[in-house]
Amino acid sequence: MKELKLHLNYAGYCFAHEHHAIRGGAKKEIKFHALWALIAHPEEGYILFDTGYTQRFFDETKSFPNLIYAKVTKVICEKEDEVIQQLERNGIRPDEIKMILISHFHADHIAGLKDFPNARLISSKKAFEHTVSTPKIMGFSKGILHGLIPKNFKDRIEFVEDIGVHKNDPFFGHYQDLFSDDSIRVYDLPGHAAGQIGIRLKTKKNHYFLIADACWIDRSYKEMVLPHPIVKLFFHSWKDFKESLSKVNQHYLNHPEEVIVPTHCSKTTDPLVSENIDWNAL
């Protein structure tokens, strides 16, 4: 694969119950950090994978029915935690972000979209269609807050299926070679959310597979341990979730050296994140 540079950090967090995130987990609250990634591509420039939380989450959940979202999901995000603030502290302007890859449209993954008005927005077609077809009044029940999405969203969105080259994969069936240069491989990981995607890339030190919410705890993909059935209430498709997890498990068993990164698994992400961008760290 073509070598890229990668930086990871958090943009806020919420709380979850460990025994809901994985069967057999402790009956305690754990932090679900909102992980985001900055990728430096030698020709395409700076690319974001998700944008984490921003203060807009609180603005969008002040009144009913979105208030229910805030009551169920306790979110912590200070202004300085926002991606745009972190980038500016590292000398990167918002207009330098050329593209945002959206894993799925849940609030903890897209709250910063409005901060980058010049960036190309890339998602799967299924994720887009599910989002725009979900009524605003019911969006909170699917993790979607329509007010976080830019007003010109429909004019800016591009579908990953229409970009790059479609290639075969032994475990997932296929992936999309986004830039036709084998630098970013995009994989379908539906289930937790409709049309969810993950990405694989290579840096000087390692191969990384950012799997978004294909699972929440590393034991899930390593040992095929599912979450508590209660989460079915919030998932788009339990069947698709199990199939995606099985594919990640097969990939892991055949590529044990690769760093697989579930967005909310602190055990995995804590050693990888940093406040300051050091392109040699990962």
- Residue 233 binned pLDDT confidence (cut-offs 50, 70, 90): confident
The distance from CA 5 to its chain's CA centroid, rounded to whole angstroms, is 18
CA separation for the pair 222, 214 (Å, rounded): 12
- Looking from the CA of 233 toward its CB, the CA atoms found within 13 Å total 7
Pick the more confident residue, 138 or 50. 50
Alpha carbons within 13 angstroms on the beta-carbon side of residue 71 total 9
Determine the average pLDDT of the residues in 86-90.
98
pLDDT score recorded for residue 121: 98
Distance CA 120, CA 138 (A): 27
Q: What is the pTM of this model?
A: 0.97
- pLDDT given at position 117: 96
Sign of CA dihedral 77, 241, 121, 209: positive
Whole-number pLDDT of residue 275:
96
Q: Percentage of the chain surpassing pLDDT 90? A: 96
Q: What is the CATH number of the domain that holds 16?
A: 3.60.15.10
Q: Is residue 261 part of a domain?
A: yes
Q: Where in the sequence is the domain holding 84, given as residue range(s)?
A: 5-269
Q: 47 vs 136, which has greater pLDDT?
A: 47
What was the pLDDT predicted at 242? 98
**157 assigned to some structural domain:** yes
Chain segment 20-46, per-residue pLDDT in tens? 999 999 999 999 999 999 999 999 999
Q: Where residue 111 falls among pLDDT bands split at 50, 70, 90? A: very high
Residue 123: inside a domain, yes or no?
yes
Query: What percentage of the chain has pLDDT greater than the value 70?
Result: 100
Residue 279 lies in a domain: no
Q: Is 34 helix (H, G, I), strand (E, B) or coil?
A: strand
In a domain, 117, yes or no: yes
What is the predicted pLDDT for the residue at 97? 98
Encoded tokens for 93:
């302007």
Q: Letter for the amino acid at 244? A: S
pLDDT score recorded for residue 207: 98
Instruction: Please give the tally of structural domains in the chain.
Output: 1
In a domain, 282, yes or no: no
- Condensed to tens digits (0 to 9), the pLDDT of residues 268-277 reads 999 999 999 9
